[in-house]
Amino acid sequence: MNEKAKIRLIIEVKKSLKEIMDDFSDVPEEMGYFYERFRAFFEETPNNGKKVIATMCIHVPVELIYAVGAIPLRVCSGARSMAEIGEEFFPAKACPLIKSTFGALYLNIFPMAAAPAMIINPTTCDHKKKIGEMAEDIDSCFYTLELPPTKETEEARFYWHMVVKKLAKELERVTGQRLTRKKLKAAIGIVSLAQAQLRRLYNIRKGNPVIWGNNAILVANAYFFDDIANWTDRLSRLNDELEDRARRNQYVVGQEAPRILLAGSPSIFPNMTLPVMIEQMGGIVVAEEFCSSSRSLYDMVAVDEWSLYDMIPAIADRYLKPGICPCFTPNIDRKRRLLNIAGDFCIDGVIYNSFAGCQLYQMESRHVEKILEQNGIPMLYLETDYTSDNTGQLTTRLQAFMELLQDQKS
Amino acid sequence: MKKIRAFINNSNISKFRFYFQIAAFVLFVYGGYFYVTISEKLPTFACPFNKGSGGTCYLMPLQHQLHMTWSRFIGPGGIHLLKGFLVFACFGLVFSKAWCGYLCPLGTIQDWITKLRKVLHIRFSKYGETTFKGLKKIKYILLFLLIIIPLGVSNSLLWLPKFSHDIFPPFCKICPGRIVLPLFTGDTSQIYIDFSTKTAMTMTALGMIVTGIFFTGSFFKKRFFCLFCPMSALLYIFSKVAILRLNKNVAKCTRCGNCYRVCDVGIKEIADDVINKNIVKDDCMLCLKCVEACPEEGCLEVSFFNIPVFMSTETGFFKRYCLRNEIK
Ligand code: SF4
Ligand code: SF4
């Protein structure tokens, strides 16, 4: 089964990448690096004997992982072939992202052919809560990161501070390295450099489009497994090129293309159907509210006293307070953030995707739609999973929405 | 103009504040030796018990002016009181709470104590939200007492006997400024307990205790004494209408909490309040650390006469908090 699934995965990866590379012209040269990363998705990369720590969500404080000399690897998977493997273990209506991630864990298929020493699994949704108990089915060991259900109260905050402190201890144990003030400070520094470049990319995307949305999603996606220093460096070069393009008015689409904000369940490579379809139909994705892209690196750590006693809580705060995951209740901030993005990026319409099986995103969609409507922003709600069964219906609905937006624009 | 603005927005206000506070400290603590008397109605602890003081803290004349019989209130005494308050109000209306963050010598001393703690890598203590809310109220109680007691010394309140004169001036008796600031000019004469009467003994002993609390408290908790400061309560009256304001562009706030976590006095609303534009709270000292720590472009903003003078920027945030922390 292992070999067969792996072959199907490789085909899937190739197909998805080919579609993007073939269908979209006028791509910045610097994208070449990122395409190459995805082509070599499963090839082994040397990691200088550093331990790899797998993460399953953006609520894992990666600074701590860097500080103990390990490498974080985000293993959330977008592969249909892996979801099919995972199906065995979950109820029929479970979220495809979880099924896929678990399928890959089950087969020990990791990006960069890594072998994680530990898998940090935050308790964000019911699926993730239960997945932690399925450790006997897989080889790696799960570590449950107890994310509080709310982020509003000081109680939740202090609880989370303790959880993160405990994680730091566990990381020290697994890696055999001590967490020191200097190392943690350096780790915050490394991550913040990556954050600075990602924010720069967003600022560029606020203007007339010089990069395809699917390309931008790929770039953010590569952060899951790429070496952070390389990634930052490459992104900074890409940003240079994009800024240059903006100066020369070299846009990938004309002004008439509807500017789309993609919200909800994340598009994770190779599941790029949605952004690719939107852009094939003449739209342009200028922003995503995805935990796989904008949300993963946007929020910043602010430390007041550079000693461990304040640095660890500062990092913890950054992974809790600005969170807009629908697992938090209440989650007013998500709606406020969406409105803000809509304004900043001059959004014409929002496409809200929810994975079939993700009740949290599904339930929030109504409220989001209402608020967007009040602000005169049209929204299309979609429910997708990793299969291509319902592409026909999806195409029709997307097309109708795009036409509506185009009419509004002209 | 744009360049100047960017320069200011990306600058390190905390560093500027550090030097500004030193200058203000010299002025208020040693200014008297150079015949500087800025005003007698200063909304800051320029304590006249210190011979070198370059001005007078308003709480002292306020207590003295309230120390009169009812009948005098409708006469010259009342006018005197009103005049004094107007002068004080002018100071408050212009700089609002920045008196606390930039000018108050007692505040500055507390910041120095914090600096010392940081160098020693000793952690600060925390208190829960409810404790904090409880402690905060003390400053209003103190303000009430410092108004009512002088009245009670010269008048009989609620048919009670008049208070003993030994209690006067009540706040100065317990204020750590009276004891601490003269020390900077080598005057230790304020360290005493007056055993002459019971009241005098209680009051002076309280003063010594409060001074002890001042030092230990502010060592473990940033700006600890400010929580109890009646001047802070008094200045708060003007902060909503003052010329110098701290505004929040609420739509831009991600509620990341950065501003709250760097705030020395622990103002939670600065992060959580996404309704009010004018965001100065009673404990705020307008130190502007929150503006520095906010990574959202133009989310927090300081304005003077409605002209924005300093605001949060992405670049500024990165400059102050991140890039300099690269591995050395
Ligand atoms: S730092 Fe800025 S964005 Fe973050 S909570 Fe404070 S005001 Fe809001
Ligand atoms: S709210 Fe801001 S200006 Fe006020 S004390 Fe706190 S950090 Fe300083």
pLDDT, tens digit, 9 for 90 and up, residues B230-244 = 999 999 999 889 999
Which is more confident, A34 or A135? A34
> Above 90 in pLDDT, residue B259?
yes
pTM of the predicted model, to two decimals? Answer: 0.93
How crowded is residue B12: how many other Cβ atoms within 10 Å of its Cβ? 12
Pairing verdict, β A379-384 and A349-355: parallel
> Above 50 in pLDDT, residue B289?
yes
Q: How much of chain B, in percent, has pLDDT values that exceed 90?
A: 79
Measuring CA to CA, which residue among A35, A5, A34, A224 is closest to residue A109?
A: A5
Give φ, ψ of B225 to 5 degrees: -65, -30
> Above 60 in pLDDT, residue A116?
yes
The shortest CB-CB distance from A154 to any of B129, B254, B256 is to B129
- Residue to mutate among B322, B324, B328, with most A CBs inside 10 A, is B322
The shortest CB-CB distance from B261 to any of A309, A314, A333 is to A314
How far away, in angstroms, is B272 Cα from ligand 1 center? 8
Minimal CA separation from B196 to chain A, in Å: 47
pLDDT for B76: 87
Give the position of tokens 């203007």: A207
Q: Is A356 helix (H, G, I), strand (E, B) or coil?
A: coil
Q: What is the pLDDT of residues B158-202, one digit of tens each?
A: 888 888 888 889 999 999 999 999 999 999 999 999 999 999 999
Cβ–Cβ of A299/B256 closer than 8 Å? Answer: yes
> Above 70 in pLDDT, residue A259?
yes
The shortest CB-CB distance from B118 to any of A305, A322, A343 is to A305
Local confidence band at A145 (pLDDT 50, 70, 90 cut-offs)? very high
Q: What is the pLDDT of residues B43-88, one digit of tens each?
A: 999 999 999 999 999 999 999 999 988 888 888 889 999 999 999 9
What ipTM was estimated for this complex?
0.92
pLDDT for B118: 93
Q: What is the mean pLDDT of chain A?
A: 93
Q: Is B243 helix (H, G, I), strand (E, B) or coil?
A: coil
Cβ–Cβ of A304/B261 closer than 8 Å? Answer: yes
- Beta carbons of A281 and A212 less than 8 angstroms apart: no
pLDDT for A146: 96
Measuring CA to CA, which residue among B195, B153, B190 is closest to residue B175?
A: B190
How far away, in angstroms, is A304 Cα from ligand 2 center? 13
Cα angle for residues A239, A243, A244 (degrees, 5° grid): 115
Residues in B whose CB is inside 8 Å of some CB of A read 118, 121, 123-124, 128-129, 251-258, 261-262, 268, 271-272, 274, 289, 293, 295, 314, 317-318, 321-323, 325-327
Q: What is the pLDDT of residues A146-172, one digit of tens each?
A: 999 999 999 999 999 999 999 999 999
Q: What is the mean pLDDT of chain B?
A: 92
Q: What mean pLDDT comes out for the span B316-323?
A: 87
Which distant-in-sequence residues (6+ apart) come within 8 Å of B187 by Cβ?
B50, B51
**Does the C-beta of B267 come closer than 6 Å to ligand 2?**
yes
Least confident of A290-304, B271-285, B314-328: B314-328
Rg (Cα) of chain A, in Å, rounded? 20
Domains of chain B plus CATH, in order, are 2-10+244-322 (3.30.70), 14-234 (no CATH)
Q: For a pocket test of ligand 1, which of B258, B260, B297 has the largest count of ligand atoms closer than 8 A to its C-beta?
A: B258
> Above 60 in pLDDT, residue B325?
no
pLDDT for B324: 56
Dump the DSSP string for B155-179. S-STTPPPPPGGG-SHHHHH-HHHH
Sheet of B244-248: strands edge to edge?
B244-248, B300-304, B307-311
The shortest CB-CB distance from B327 to any of A154, A186, A196 is to A186
Measuring CA to CA, which residue among B282, B281, B238 is closest to residue B85?
A: B238
pLDDT for B277: 93
- Beta carbons of B235 and B57 less than 8 angstroms apart: no
Q: What mean pLDDT comes out for the span A358-384?
A: 95
Local confidence band at B323 (pLDDT 50, 70, 90 cut-offs)? low
Cβ–Cβ of A302/B295 closer than 8 Å? Answer: yes
The ligand minimizing its distance to the Cα of B256 is: 1
